[in-house]
Amino acid sequence: MEDKKFIPFEGHKFSEEEMIQRSEEHYYFMDTRRSIREFSSRPVPREILENIIKTASTAPSGAHKQPWSFCLVSSAEMKRKIKLAAEEQEKENYSSRMSIRWINDLNPFGTNWQKPFLEIAPYLIVVFKRIYETVDGEKHNNYYVSESVGIATGMLLSAIHHAGLCSLTHTPSPLNFLAEVLERPENERAFLLIPVGYAAEEAKIPDIKRKPLHEIVTYF
């Protein structure tokens, strides 16, 4: 058994005034994040993507198992394979697997089975959950895997926005073709497929509003 080891916490200290300003500025900045479906093929330095992934990996996780893994895809051949496999699933979804109500709910977003952005965006980040680790030949399940990977993915999206890039949280379903195409190990399950890059010059976004505070918070 490893012994406990604690070190002093070097937190940040701001005045309340600064904290109000910082939280407000951060909110206004984050409120400008939008999901983008029309990407430019303009290249992006890989270092930016690596910083973004390192930021995601600062997320808290059950027992600090960091149960995530990220595939950073820029190869045209791999992007094409992923696009074709995703479209195959989405064709089924849009033509029969999704309910009429679901299709109607998606109407404002103008989505359909075609996913050209999977080839156009310079990068695809595929987020995987690691459901167990193999230690001395034994399978050890990780803890709170979906929660941990969900948090890491949220931090990834926020890091993408902070860097000045755009993304789409894309969920072709079922997602298991991603582990196959990317030849992932047995303990990994695909979680989300995220194209990343610059928005196309002519990109348009749906005119939607976010819920106001009083609709999302209850005070006690």
Residue 90 interacts with ligand IYR (CB under 6 A): yes or no: yes
Residue 83 interacts with ligand IYR (CB under 6 A): yes or no: no
How many residues of this chain interact with ligand IYR, rule: CB under 6 A?
A: 9
Interacting span for ligand IYR (CB under 6 A) from 17-25, 55-63, 146-154, 165-173: 165-173
Which residues within the stretch 168-197 sit at the binding site for ligand IYR (CB under 6 A)? 170-173
Residue 129 interacts with ligand IYR (CB under 6 A): yes or no: no
Interacting span for ligand IYR (CB under 6 A) from 65-73, 150-158, 164-172, 196-204: 164-172
The alpha carbon dihedral of 58, 60, 66, 69 has a sign of: negative
Residue 67 interacts with ligand IYR (CB under 6 A): yes or no: no
Residue 193 burial class via C-beta count within 10 angstroms: exposed 0-12, middle 13-18, buried 19 and up? buried
Distance CA 210, CA 83 (A): 30
Amino acid at 193: L
User: Helix-strand-coil percent breakdown of the chain, rounded to 5?
Assistant: 40, 15, 40
Distance CA 153, CA 151 (A): 5
What residues make contact with ligand IYR under the rule CB under 6 A? 90, 93, 106, 109, 111, 170-173
